[in-house]
Amino acid sequence: MNLRQIKKEFFYIRKSFFVYKRGSKYLVNKYLTAKKILQKKEVIEKKTNNGDLSVHLLTCHRDMVMLLWSLASYFRSFRVFGDLHIHSDGTLTVGDKKILKKYFPSARIVDSENFVRDYAEALDEYPVISRFRKEKNQYVLLKKIIDPYFVSDKPLRLIIDSDLLWFCRPKEIEDAIERGIENPLMMRTRKKCPVFLRGKKFPEELSQLNSGIVLYKKKDFRPEVFSEYLNSIDESNPENRHFIEQAGYAHTLFGVTPLPEDRYIALGSVASNTVMRHYTSPRRALLYIEGIEKLLEIYGKDFFK
C-alpha cells in the first residue's frame, strides 16, 4: 500500500467502527473471509450463450479480491452471458493476470498500454477522443468508456463496475438483451453527478444517471457527440477526474432508461428484492460488512467451491 491507500483504509476502518458500528465484522470479512475466494478450485466463468453481447469492466491491482467477489456473484445471478473483457487500468501485475486466467480462462484481459498501440488507427478517426485517451492520463476512468467501444466487434455492450455485488437474477437487464436493447439502460441514484463543463451546467435530468451499470447498442454510442462532450469538459476542475466517464455515458447515449432504483441500488440496505448493490468508494466498507454476509447467507460455503 502507498500512503494514499493507507489513509483510505484507515478511513474505512474508522467508518466501520463509528458510523456502521460493525468494525470487527469489517476487519474479519475484509482480511480473512474475503480472501478465501482465492482458494476456489473451480472456474468462475460460465460459457458465453449470447454471441451478440460483450461484457466489460475496468479494474486495478488494489481491487483484485473485490473483483473476484463481484464477478462470482455476477455469474451466479445472470443466465445470459457474453464475451468477458477485463480492462486493466495499468496496475494489474503478472500474478493478477494469472489469477484472472485461472478463474476466467476465456476472458480477454485488455492492457491499458497495449490498447493505445493496438487501436491507434481506429482512435485517430476521432481526433478528440484519441487525444484524451492518449494524452490525458489524469482521466483514468475514460478507459471505461473509450476502450470497450473499440475492442469488441459485438453489437451489444454491458459495462459493469468491479464494486457491484449481485444477489438475484437481473431480469430487467436480461430482458433488454434478449430484445436487442431497445433503449440504453443505466443505474439512477439520488446523488447527482458533479461534472463541470466550460460555460454551461451539466443537464439536471442526466446528473443522477450512474455508470455502475451501462447497457447499450454500439450503434447508439455516438462518437461525435462524445467528442463534443470531451471538448466541453472543464479540465481545471479536479472533480471531473472522478465522474468524466459517468457523465460521458449519460450525455452520449440517447434515450437512457433508468433501471429500477429499488432493485439496483447504491444507497440503503440490501432487501429481498434487491438485484444488485453498487458499493461506491464512500461506502466501500459495507461491501464487506453487508454484501459478503448477504452472499454467504444466500449461497453458504458453496460460494467458495
> Is residue 22 pLDDT above 90, yes or no?
yes
State phi, psi for 95 to the nearest 5 degrees.
-65, -40
Query: Residue 233: beta bridge partners?
Result: 197
Name residue 151's amino acid: V
Mean pLDDT of 109-124: 94
Q: What is the pLDDT of residue 261?
A: 95
Write out the three cell numbers for 291: 454484501
What is the CATH code for 3-304? 3.90.550
How many CA atoms are closer than 13 Å to the CA of 22, on its beta-carbon side?
A: 13
Q: How many whole angstroms separate alpha carbon 11 and alpha carbon 128?
A: 37
**What is the rounded average pLDDT for all residues in the chain?**
94
Least confident of 121-130, 138-147, 156-165, 184-193: 184-193
DSSP state of 42: S
Nearest to 74 by CA among 155, 210, 166, 211: 166
Q: If you write DSSP's letter for every residue of 159-170 in order, what string do you get?
A: EE-TTEEE-S--
Nearest to 135 by CA among 148, 120, 145, 150: 120
Q: If pLDDT is split at 50, 70 and 90, which confidence band does 302 have?
A: confident
Q: If you write DSSP's letter for every residue of 189-226 in order, what string do you get?
A: -SS----EETTEEPPGGGTTEEEEEEEEEGGGB-HHHH
Q: If pLDDT is split at 50, 70 and 90, which confidence band does 237 have?
A: confident
Q: What is the pLDDT of residue 103?
A: 98
> Is residue 205 pLDDT above 90, yes or no?
no
Mean pLDDT of 53-80: 97
pTM greater than 0.75 (yes/no) = yes
Q: If pLDDT is split at 50, 70 and 90, which confidence band does 192 have?
A: confident
Q: If pLDDT is split at 50, 70 and 90, which confidence band does 4 have?
A: confident
Q: What is the pLDDT of residue 66?
A: 98
- For a pLDDT cut of 70, what percent of the chain falls above it? 100
- For a pLDDT cut of 90, what percent of the chain falls above it? 85
Q: What is the pLDDT of residue 143?
A: 97
User: Assign residue 125 a region: left if phi > 0, alpha if psi is -120 to 50, beta otherwise?
Assistant: alpha
Least confident of 75-84, 187-196, 209-218, 248-257: 187-196
Least confident of 38-52, 95-109, 207-221, 226-240: 226-240
Q: What is the pLDDT of residue 150?
A: 97
Q: How many whole angstroms separate alpha carbon 7 and alpha carbon 235?
A: 26
How crowded is residue 99: how many other Cβ atoms within 10 Å of its Cβ? 16
Q: Is 100 exposed, middle or buried (0-12, 13-18, 19+ CB in 10 A)?
A: buried
Q: What is the pLDDT of residue 42?
A: 93
Contact predicate 10/270, CB 8 Å = no
Q: What is the pLDDT of residue 239?
A: 83
